[in-house]
Amino acid sequence: MSRETTANTEHHPPPLVVVMGVSGSGKTTVGAALAQRLRVPFADADDVHPQANIDKMSAGIPLTDDDRGPWLATIARWLAEHAETGGVTSCSALKHTYRDVLAAAAPHVYFLHLDGAPEVIAARVAGRPGHFMPAALVESQFATLEPLGPAEHGAVLEVDQPVDDLVTQSLDLLTARYPEAIQP
């Protein structure tokens, strides 16, 4: 006689993660390493900026909410497309309203905010060759930045530590939140 078990067979996809913060916080480096550890796709939101946005930032002009709208919609679509496979994207996601756009497309998204002192971030950006974001815009990013709110799923990590430590902390946070979805 066979017996059915009541084991939990519910599908738990890997998490969707947005590694967020101001330019120079290490989003791309940490995000790519985290995606590799989670064995999920990675997308760098800088790669999908419209040329007009890149030209504006390269000229030292901060982006407006209108400039960011189509860009955020593209990132939101990427998150929605990866809801079943999981994924990690790096995206500044500076304001609550920007994160709301991303969360509307991917309700289970988790935000990892890489935070650091303005002078540390400015030094990182100044030492980064070939990137379209000039150090002069870091101040405007800090002025725009809104901390994660209590209704937003996420955590804040301090950037003044090795990448491997940030990835390990990220994995610990994700494992605590999504224990069924994280594979060791």
Residue 145 confidence (pLDDT)? 93
Domains annotated on the chain, with CATH: 16-177 (3.40.50.300)
pLDDT of residue 111: 98
Q: What is the mean pLDDT of residues 6-13?
A: 53
Say yes or no to pLDDT of 63 above 80.
Answer: no
Which pLDDT value is given to residue 14?
86
pLDDT of residue 139: 78
Pairwise CA distance, residues 168 & 184, whole Å: 12
Mean pLDDT of 11-37: 91
Which tens digit of pLDDT belongs to each residue from 93-147? 999 999 999 999 999 999 999 999 988 887 767 655 554 555 567 778 888 899 9
**In this prediction, what percent of the chain has a pLDDT beyond 70?**
86
Asked whether residue 8 carries a pLDDT value surpassing 50, the answer given is: no
| Spatial distance between the Cα atoms of 132 and 110, rounded to a whole number of angstroms | 27
State the chain's mean pLDDT as an integer.
Answer: 85
pTM, rounded to two decimals: 0.85
Site of tokens 């800090």: 142
Q: Above 90 in pLDDT, residue 64?
A: no
Above 50 in pLDDT, residue 4?
Answer: no
- From residue 165, give the alpha-carbon distance in Å to each of 21, 98, 154: 17, 27, 17
Q: Which of 116, 113, 66 is nearest to 93 (CA)?
A: 113
Q: Which of 12-26, 77-91, 160-174 has the lowest mean pLDDT?
A: 12-26
pLDDT in the model for residue 56: 81
pLDDT, position 128: 58
